[in-house]
Each structure stands twice: as C-alpha cells, then as structure tokens.
Amino acid sequence: MQLQIAPSILSADFGNLARDIRMLNASADLVHLDVMDGSFVPNISFGFPVIEAVAAVATIPMDAHLMVVNPGKWVERCASLGVAMMSFHLEAARDEAEGILADIRSHGMKAGLVINPNIPVEDLYPFIGKADYFLIMSVFAGFGGQKFIPESLGRIEKLKAELDKAGNDAPIEVDGGVGPANAGLLARAGASIFVAGSSVFKAENPAEAIDLLRNPR
Ligand code: DX5
Ligand code: ZN
C-alpha cells in the first residue's frame, strides 16, 4: 500500500504557521491536526480558529485527530472547515462510536477510529467496515515528542491481519514517536499513514525528513 505522510503541526512553529503549511503542501500527503481539550487528555493544543488558518493555506487534505470528550459534538464544525479525515478515540465515545462514524461519513469526511496503547486492539474489530481508517497510537495521546512504544508493531500486525481476513482495505494510521528508525518496521507491520511531529519539524530539513519517512528502509 502507498505510504502517506501526515506531519503533525503540534510541533510546527505557530509563529510561522503559514510558512510551515506551505512546506507541507510541497512535500507531505496530509496535514495532521491534533486537537486536545485538556479533559480527555492532560493537555490543551488548539482548536477551530487554528484549523481555519491552516485550511486557508493547506492544499493537501486535513486529517483531524480529536482527543476530546464528546467528539460527536464537533462533526459538523470539522466538515464546515474542510476537514477531509476526522478521527476520534473509542475510549471517549464507547457507546456512540458507531453513530459518530456514520455521522462523519454522512458529512462527506473519512471516519477514523483511534485507540490509546492501553486499549486492546480487538476492541476495534467490531468497527471494521464502519470506519474508513484506524489510528493506532504508539504513545499515549497528549503530547508530542514521546518515545515510540514498540508493542505497537504487534498491535498493527494483528489489526492488519484482521482487516485482510475481512477483505477490508481500510488504512492503518500510526501516531507517536514515528521517525526514520521505525518507519520501515511500521510499514512492514501494515501501517500506511505515518503521523510525525517532532521527527519532521525538529529536523534540520523537514522536507527531507518527510522523504525519508516515505522511503523507509
Ligand atoms: C500525540 C499526538 C501526536 C503527536 C505526534 O497526542 O496525537 O500526533 O503530535 O508527535 P511526535 O511525532 O513528536 O510523537
Ligand atoms: Zn495525532
């Protein structure tokens, strides 16, 4: 499967956001937007005004990762800002997950379901066919710059095998501590959308770092 690189602007320079987005337009596949509410995760990042500013400059699709309680509340708003892919955590909406996925789809966006590293990967299986992609967190959601959790590889392999068994080609996105050292392993495990914050934006040459992720060893 073709790899897609989704740099997370959590690690961008917010004083030069338009410049950083233009760099992504020329080198990345998606812009990853980490929305944190300080309740679902112990950190606050940014919200709709920033997404609006990104939308004004981005020519590549926006991939919004909602780390918030009550994610279903924001489907309409994301759609109206031009978000192409919207994901939320299963832990944040156990009982409503199926309905929210359907609502995201009905708003013309791709619907993604996310789990933190402490949630069994099997919990995603009932949603195969109901989500357009799955996001496996390889760190606990909340902060950029954390260390990749190696057990994530086996979780991705398991989910990939389950998707294959179902004849479902929903991509697996991976988020947290992704960089040149694990990109090859992740691709072989079955991930095809790589979120990367610090390994892209803290690199001396971010565009080159994106290329490195796209062609992993
Ligand atoms: C963590 C976010 C990630 C994060 C990735 O809660 O979902 O997208 O920004 O950052 P790095 O690549 O630095 O781990
Ligand atoms: Zn994210």
Cβ–ligand 1 contact at 129 (below 6 Å): no
Cβ–ligand 1 contact at 146 (below 6 Å): yes
175 is a catalytic site residue: yes
Cβ–ligand 1 contact at 38 (below 6 Å): no
> Could you give the C-alpha distances from 129 to 3, 26, 112, 167, 169, in angstroms and in order?
21, 32, 11, 10, 9
Cβ–ligand 1 contact at 10 (below 6 Å): yes
Across the chain, mean pLDDT equals 98
Which domains are present in the chain?
A: 4-214 (3.20.20.70)
User: Which positions ≥6 away from 203 have C-beta within 8 Å?
Assistant: 209
Res. 217 pLDDT band, cuts 50 70 90: confident
Instruction: Judge whether 77 and 52 are in contact, CB under 8 Å.
Output: no
Write the pLDDT tens digit of every residue in 5-27: 999 999 999 999 999 999 999 99
**pLDDT, average across residues 60-74:** 98
Q: What is the pTM of this model?
A: 0.98
User: What percent of the chain lies above the pLDDT cut of 70?
Assistant: 100
Ligand 1 centroid to residue 145 C-alpha, Å:
6
What is the rounded distance in angstroms from the CA atom of residue 217 to the CA atom of residue 212?
9
Phi and psi at 4, nearest 5°, equal -120, 135
Ligand 2 centroid to residue 43 C-alpha, Å:
13
Atom of ligand 1 nearest to the CA of 41: 6
Residue to substitute in 24, 33, 146, 201 for testing ligand 1 pocket (most ligand atoms within 8 angstroms of CB): 146
Ligand 1 centroid to residue 103 C-alpha, Å:
26
**pLDDT, average across residues 72-87:** 98
34 is a catalytic site residue: yes
Question: Is pLDDT above 90 for 208?
Answer: yes
Atom of ligand 1 nearest to the CA of 43: 6
Cβ–ligand 1 contact at 145 (below 6 Å): yes
Write the pLDDT tens digit of every residue in 99-118: 999 999 999 999 999 999 99
What pLDDT is recorded for position 176? Answer: 98
> Could you give the C-alpha distances from 111 to 53, 65, 72, 85, 195, in angstroms and in order?
22, 10, 11, 6, 16
**pLDDT, average across residues 82-105:** 98
What pLDDT is recorded for position 110? Answer: 99
